[in-house]
Structures are given as structure tokens and as C-alpha cells.
A and B are shown apart, each in its own frame.
Chain A
Amino acid sequence: MAEITYKDAAHVCEDGETVLDALLRANADIPYSCKKGTCLSCMVQMTEGDVPQDAQKNIRPSLAQQGYFLACMCRPSGPLTIAQADDAVIYGRAIVTGIDKMTPDVCRVWLRPSTPLYYRAGQFVNIRRDDGIVRSYSLASVPRLDRELEIHVKRMPRGEMSNWFFDQVTPGDGLDLQGPNGDCFYVPGTPDQNLLLIGTGTGLAPLLGVVRDALDAGHTGNIHLYHGSREATGIYLADEVRALADTHDNFHFAPCVSGSAAAGPFRAGRADEAAFADHPDLKGWSVFICGYPAMVNAARKTAFMAGATLPNIHADPFDFRDLRHEARDEVEDKPDLW
């Protein structure tokens, strides 16, 4: 048991309990989302005491030195005094410069941050609306190639942020931006390594960033991208991606449709199954998997068993929950991805 003080109020953190769970139990006001150390929404600052190393694992060194840590990953061993994170340290401002509704359910949005964001293609940012709602989006843009940040937004049933992007946002609107986060990005230095990329839904966004980054860096190994959706309407940007494949001999693109009968240019079946059927031996490969969490977790294991080492498997499950204190109602018709 440890005593924690948050915003001048004292709380008790039970043995084995995280700071976040203790604060939520006490109805304290603290933002959070993934509860597993990925999204960084629950970052707070320690002003007195000690935090375990695990709680600072995914935090930039400059912030860690100032005592920033993740409440969801912190099981304190002694008393802790915690302050709300300094908002200006975490969020910057950005404006929407364009919106392209590519399909009825997927749009891409371009953003220009007020101060330059140093990121790698495939990382993700947290976007906060002026009423405080936060969501995570992966970056499809490549710093060397694109002036603006590009995200892909999938319209979610009753999704606060996604419907807002679709129905209300216009160029010139402002929002808050935090990032970059995550380690799903291309690592230069092994140009002849083969790359396998598997994504469902808007899991295409970070993968496309990784592919363009790798091609621009002069990657010579084979790059295989499998994009999956239940319906053919979920395959977006296929013409652009194909054009990229047409101009690069080492880049191969396979759009896959798993639901109704696959038509025309699409492979029938799931993207992960097609990828592993085509490439049963992944020894020495680098693998990127993004999208629906169940697919990501299963594909991760399959890639590992096929010979890829875990440090060479970069996975980004899109499993960020709602930031409100009460979980979003289970959506009955589960999207196959988001």
C-alpha cells in the first residue's frame, strides 16, 4: 500500500494496483485510454517520491528526467506526490489543412502543427478536440516527402472523433496534437532485409508511411504489403499504392477482401492468412502488423513462429479505448478494423 497525492488530494494505492487504477477508483480527474503503456494519455509528473522504471519506459528521456511517467504502468513502492502534466509540454496546436473523403467510411486528414513535429512515418499521434476528447491516429506521411501530417480516419459507429472529422471539421479548424509515439517505423541500416507489412482497415496508414519511407531510403530488399478488409469498399488508396508498386520492382501489393466474394483485383481471404501463405519462412525478415487487435496479436505469434525475431516484429494494435471514464458501449456490429 502506498499513499499518493494527486492535485493536493490524498489517495491510497493498494499493493499491486497502478496509480491510474487508484485514481480512477477515487474518481479523480485523469485522462487515460489504453491502460497498457502505449498511448501515453495518462502521463503525469512526479514531484516527490520514486517511480519504478517500467512507468517511464516509453517516455522521451527529456520528459522522464523531469519526472514524467505513465500512471497506468506505475505500481509505486512508496509515497508519491503527483502533479497533472503541464499541458504545454505535452500538447501543441495544429490546424487542419485538408480533408479527403476517400470512401463513405474512411477519410484522410492533413494537419499542420504550429511547431515542427520530428517523427518517423508509422508512429502515432494523439489528437485532442477542444472539448477534451482524445484519440490516437497513425501517421501515413513521411517527414522527408510530405510537408504536412497525414492521418486516416475510419468512421466508427457512434465514434465521437471520427464522426466529427467526417461531418463537422473544415480546413482551418484547430486541434491539439501530442506525439510522436510508438515504435512501428522503418529502421534504416539493413537495406537488403525483406519486409512484410500486414494491415487491416486504416492500419494501412502507418504501413504506407513505412513503405514510402523505406522506398525513399533506397531499400533494396523485397517489400510485401497486404491490406485487408471485410468488404471491397474498405480497400482505399489502392490505385495510389498500385502505382507505387508499378514504379518499384521490389514493392509488391496485395489487397485482400475476406467477406463477400472477392471481386476483380482483390485477393479472397484475410490479409494475414494470405501473407503467411505466401511467405512461410520469415527468418531474417522485418514484419509490421497494424489494425484490428485480435488480428495483430494472432499475426504476431504466427510471424514469430515463422522465424521472425520478436524485436523485428513491429505491431500496432488499434485498441485504444474511449477516454471518458465510462467505457464506450460495446458496438454490436464490430468493425473488422479501425
Chain B
Amino acid sequence: MTDTLYDRLGGEAAVEAAVDIFYRKVLSDPSISDFFDTTDMDEQRNKQKAFLTMAFGGPNEYIGKDLREAHAPLVEKGLNDSHFDAVAGHLDATLRELGVADELIGEVLAIAGGTRDDVLNR
């Protein structure tokens, strides 16, 4: 098996299928929705796509420094582990809703979880 995780998930089409479901879940969760600006939904959607692409093991330009810089203003506003867990939970639920196999979900959540310290600026 030489296919990457990204390929096994379905690549860009999988990201496209997941992004609106994921973004909707995040916005409907009052404990975290304030961290997701809705004045420019297209821009937010692009950010969610970049995040999902990274979590799916796809080609991305995210590096730790970018994640830190991007989330620093949110950490100042109180972003903490509970919010990170909530987002991870919505990612999990999104993938289940799409019928993704458990083992692949596990791999995605492991990649996403690996960003925790950068996102929370620790």
C-alpha cells in the first residue's frame, strides 16, 4: 500500500465534500463559533479547506510558525484546550457523517492533534 492518507481519503474531492459540513458544525457550536469570523465566509471557507487538507495529509503550506501566528490573536481572546477539543470533535463527526473508515479517521485526528501546541502557542 503506497497510497498516501490523502489519496486514500479521496484527495481534493474529499476536502471539498467535508469543508461545508465541517464549517457548519463549527459555526453551530456556540462554545467556539465566535472564533470563526463570518464577515468573510469565502475567506473562512478557504482557511477551513487549508486546515482539512493538512489534516488529511495532503499538500499544504502550513508550518508551525504560521499556525502560531494565525492563532495568537485567538489565544489572547482565550482559545484553550477545550476549544481545540471541540474543533477536533467536529472534525471526527464530519468524517463519520461522510462514512470514512475508523482507521483513516484515526490517522486524520492524529495529524490534527499534532498541531495542538502550535495552535495554542505553547
Contact = CB atoms under 8 A, between A and B. Distances in A.
Interface of A: 297, 300-301, 304-305, 307, 309-310
Nearest to A312: B20
B45 interface: yes
A155 B98 CA distance: 50
A310 B41 contact: yes
A307 B20 CA distance: 9
Interface string B25-49: 0011000000000110110010000
Contacts of B39: 297
Interface of B: 20, 23-24, 27-28, 38-39, 41-42, 45
B48 to A, nearest CB: 10
21 contacts: A297-B38, A297-B39, A300-B41, A301-B27, A301-B38, A301-B41, A304-B20, A304-B23, A304-B24, A304-B27, A304-B41, A305-B24, A305-B27, A305-B28, A307-B24, A309-B20, A310-B20, A310-B23, A310-B41, A310-B42, A310-B45
A309 B41 CA distance: 11
Given A304-B20, A310-B42, 17 more contacts: A297-B38, A297-B39, A300-B41, A301-B27, A301-B41, A304-B23, A304-B24, A304-B27, A304-B41, A305-B24, A305-B27, A305-B28, A307-B24, A309-B20, A310-B23, A310-B41, A310-B45
- Majority SS at the chain A contact face: helix
A300 B39 CA distance: 10
Nearest to B42: A310
Contacts of A310: 20, 23, 41-42, 45
Nearest to A300: B41
Nearest to B21: A309
Contacts of B28: 305
Contacts of B42: 310
B122 to A, nearest CB: 27
Nearest to B38: A301
A300 B40 CA distance: 10
A301 B42 CA distance: 11
Contacts of B23: 304, 310
Q: Select the residue from A300, A305, A310 with max chain B CB neighbours within 10 A.
A: A310
A31 B84 CA distance: 44
Nearest to A310: B45
A304 B45 CA distance: 11
Nearest to B28: A305
Contacts of A309: 20
B51 to A, nearest CB: 15
Contacts of A305: 24, 27-28
Contacts of B41: 300-301, 304, 310
A310 B20 CA distance: 7
B45 to A, nearest CB: 5
Contacts of B45: 310
A292 B27 CA distance: 23
A304 B38 CA distance: 11
A307 B24 CA distance: 8
Contacts of B27: 301, 304-305
A307 B97 CA distance: 14
Contacts of A307: 24
B29 to A, nearest CB: 12
A300 B42 CA distance: 11
Nearest to B44: A310
Nearest to A315: B41
A309 B28 CA distance: 15
A165 B45 CA distance: 39
